[in-house]
Structure 1
């Protein structure tokens, strides 16, 4: 006999095999696509200098910022983008008074700081492709 959740899903006629189950276990009726994670890449990005260091405004330690508008994968529903969408930000540019999270509009933030609203997406893709921890992701 099939487990209860599998039986319900099987009776709906939809094949859910191959879809990722969100962290925290199964939630019937709510399946989210998997989120790519790479702890080594996160640590590598956090060890870089702030991507806006040329502005001379940097303060505090550097951490990886998951893009609000990713170049690959999805985001939304209180979920951050996957680890391929990381850029290094100092505390000031990340969550400080002039940070991207205070602004809320990532494209406007990058337009103001660099002149290019897609700067974060282009940079994070380059960082991922040059990463020593790059791996093919299906």
Structure 2
């Protein structure tokens, strides 16, 4: 089937756009471009600031970890020295230090377990579940 070529938009059934509308559209487009550019610049500057802050936080967290580790070793050494001064043998003092160390490990592992369930995005997973699924008791 042959397609008829039209010469003007009016012949194609398109109404002509008044010049003030095209000028307003051009002005709106220019404002949108400037606004998008400004927002992109702001996003880029904030991204740089976030990156710098994350590096600083990482460095300070590593320093805090090293200081906490040296404090822990000093505390264990102090426990061993005090245990030896209270007439315990070296083996008993080291055993006491091991018990203190194990109790610290137990505490840290319990804290890890309490936070580990948050890694799975529980609220997001709950919201994404299909409404027709059932739980372990069979209730909908």
For normalisation by structure 1, the TM-score amounts to 0.26
Greater share of helix: 2
Greater share of strand: 1
State the structure with bigger RCO (CA 8 A, min sep 6), 1 or 2. Answer: 1
For normalisation by structure 2, the TM-score amounts to 0.26
Larger radius of gyration: 2
